[in-house]
Amino acid sequence: MLWRSVSLMVAVVTALPVAGQTLPWNRSPEQDAFPPFQKPPEVTGTVSLAELRDPLKGKALEMLLTAEKQLRSGETGRALEGLRTALKNPQAAPIALGFLGTEHLRQGLIDTAVVELEQSVRLRPGDATTQSNLAYALFLEGRDEQGLKHARRAVQLDPGRPKSRLVLGRLLLRLGRVEEAKFHLRIAAEELPGAGLVLEELSKP
């Protein structure tokens, strides 16, 4: 389904270091020169059920696919500029916010990423990837209880997504819920080596 394929573009880099679910661009922060960040405008409202059922099309889809292509090719500055423009399009804005939050999270701009991902989650609460991305950003900020809420929601929405399990497991460990954390980490470890490493550390005396 086209909507799902676009939403999966917005995947966070977790696994310590985080690796995006479908984002194929893997660059170091030194490889990109970012323009000064401007706080995104407040986007109000929610996406209707009808809009969720209809695939993205026209200008909204074009803007998002162009940004995705630019990110793949390393044109990060142009991609971010295009995504900020996409915020003016009601149909594209929720996904554009997710893209922006993911890129800023990748580059360590945690406060900025949280603002963008919170807006994206508010507009698209049923997107598991963005819920997981926000959970990880909150984990990095030390806001574990809030992060736990979003991580649980991400797993509930998509139980088969290993990165959500990893984020949930890390949060549960920090909160002292070791056995529950191990349960989720074991599932994540089937696909993510990072989760297996965490389990190995836990098994050491």
In a domain, 103, yes or no: yes
The widest CA-to-CA distance across the chain, in whole angstroms, is: 58
Q: Single out the residue in 63, 90, 124 at which a domain terminates.
A: 124
- Give residue 82's Cα distance to chain centre: 19
CATH number at residue 170: 1.25.40.10
Q: How confident is the model at residue 45 (pLDDT cuts 50, 70, 90)?
A: very low
In a domain, 27, yes or no: no
In a domain, 196, yes or no: yes
Which of 18-32, 64-78, 125-139 shows the lowest per-residue confidence on average (mean pLDDT)?
Answer: 18-32
Domain extent, residue 203, equals 127-205
- What one-letter code names the amino acid at 81? E
Percent of the chain, pLDDT > 90?
Answer: 56
Query: pLDDT value at position 42?
Result: 52
Is the same domain home to 120 and 136? no
Neighbours of 134 (CB within 10 A): 30
Q: Single out the residue in 73, 89, 124 at which a domain terminates.
A: 124
What distance in Å separates the CA atoms of residue 38 and residue 166, rounded to the nearest whole number? 31
Q: Single out the residue in 124, 140, 165 at which a domain terminates.
A: 124
The count of structural domains within the chain is 2
In a domain, 102, yes or no: yes
Q: Two tokens at 44? A: 């109000």
Question: What would the pLDDT profile of 127-165 be if each residue is shown by its tens digit?
Answer: 999 999 999 999 999 999 999 999 999 999 999 999 999
CATH number at residue 107: 1.25.40
Report whether 188 contacts 169 (CB < 8 A).
Answer: yes
Is the same domain home to 94 and 62? yes
Q: How confident is the model at residue 114 (pLDDT cuts 50, 70, 90)?
A: very high
Is the same domain home to 144 and 202? yes
